[in-house]
Amino acid sequence: MKTFENEPSSKKENKKIFKYEALSKKGNKESGIVLADSDHVAYKTICKKELIPIEITKVNRISSKISLEELLMFFMHIDFQLKCGLKINEAIDTFIDSQNNKILNAKLLEISDALKNGQSLNEAFKNSIFDNVVSGLLNSAEKTGNLSEIIANILAFLKLKNEWKEKAKAALAYPVFISLIAIIIMWVCIVFLGPQVISLLKNNNGGEIPILTNFAVNYLPKIGASFSIIVTVIFFCLICFSALKKYRRKLQNYLLSIPKIGSILKKITLWNFFKILQIALNSKLDFIKSLELGIESIEIEDIKSDLEKIKSKILSGHKIFETFSSSKYITQSISTALYVGESGNNLPDSMRHISDELYKEILRELEIFGRSLSIGLTLFAGGIFIFILSSLFLPLYNYIGVMHQ
């Protein structure tokens, strides 16, 4: 059972999060989270719930990460509750009561407490588990009074994002599975069957062992182990380099240069950018503020830098269409849509058209990439089976044939 309690306070920054375990009057163990100024206040708060505290622990570190699935569930719940007539802090409280992620609940409890103490949506959501894009959109909703509409738009955006991520996982699942099965079968055959084949051939074939069989049994496991170590080291180095801006940029540029993968990454980044731009413009934010939110969402440094230059040119008086057309990442079709939107004073529709077209291209390219990967890795698996047949089973078959003569 979960229990949550808010202690009234005019100063949110003095509040601390405590998780606890306690016993009820019936002797049942319960756990929960409270927001309090000190462990003493937390203790009294728990006692007011007619619970006997066993352990109270201050939560010092809370992960700033929230998964897309959790984000999607949260906004689905908030969207539904707002349509039912609840206030946003009430909607957040009902979400806290409906799920068991205590770390997520702790952060949401802080946000709910901030809203109850009169802070704005932007202040409450800023520097929390939600990124600056979400807090910026909620800030615009607060100013224009169309919170329910903005939440619905954010939800639609997250659903699309989740859809292409699921498509990407599906595209990779089958070929990766086939490859792993092939590698496991090869390893089992070489490690367990290989030595027995060599022993049999040595004892009954004059000590003569085929070169391929000798390589498979005596050298391939060592090569495989060395290769695994090298791959692990490279993977670890990539993680370390990606944490440093200088190397992260080089790594991103390398990925962008890879055919198929680079194209998909560019389109996903641009789709994310133009979709946020569309939502922000529909939220009645001015173009520059919308542009800043879109740029904030971009993780690929080169594209982000390019769009920062575009923003600077627009601020200095250049037309939107002209500045975007000068970017190496903007295609002719995107430029045309921007020209139509700017000349017709209907940029939100242009952004919607651009993001819709990019989304279709992403799904199409993911499907093609998945199909190509499936063919390539299926051939790889076939090669492994042919190698096993040639190195182990064929010599064994020949030996049995000789013995029968």
Q: Residue 82: left if φ>0, alpha if ψ -120 to 50, beta else—which one?
A: alpha
Of 277, 283, 260, 290, which is closest to residue 361 (Cα–Cα)? Answer: 260
> What value does the mean pLDDT take over residues 65-82?
83
End-to-end CA distance of the chain: 76
> What value does the mean pLDDT take over residues 382-390?
80
Q: What angle do CA 360, 175, 183 make, to 5 degrees?
A: 160
pLDDT per residue over 341-356, tens digit each? 998 888 999 999 999 9
pLDDT of 102 over the 80 cut: no
pLDDT per residue over 108-157, tens digit each? 887 888 888 888 877 777 766 777 777 778 777 777 777 888 888 888 88
pTM more than 0.75: no
Strongest mean pLDDT among 79-83, 135-139, 216-220? 79-83
pLDDT of 248 over the 80 cut: no
Q: What percent of the chain has pLDDT over 70?
A: 83
Mean pLDDT of the chain: 79
Q: How far apart are CA 309 and CA 303, in angstroms?
A: 10
Give the confidence band of 9 by pLDDT, cuts at 50, 70, 90: very low
Q: Are strands 16-23 and 52-58 parallel, antiparallel or unpaired?
A: antiparallel
Tokens of 49: 């719930």
Give the SS3 label for residue 101: coil
Tokens of 15: 């509040």
Q: How far apart are CA 52 and CA 54, in angstroms?
A: 6
pLDDT of 213 over the 70 cut: yes
> What value does the mean pLDDT take over residues 259-280?
90
DSSP string across 347-389:
HHHHHHHHHHHHHHHHHHHHHHHHHHHHHHHHHHHHHHHHHHI
Q: How far is CA 220 from CA 8, 224, 225, 383, 388, in A?
A: 67, 6, 9, 15, 12
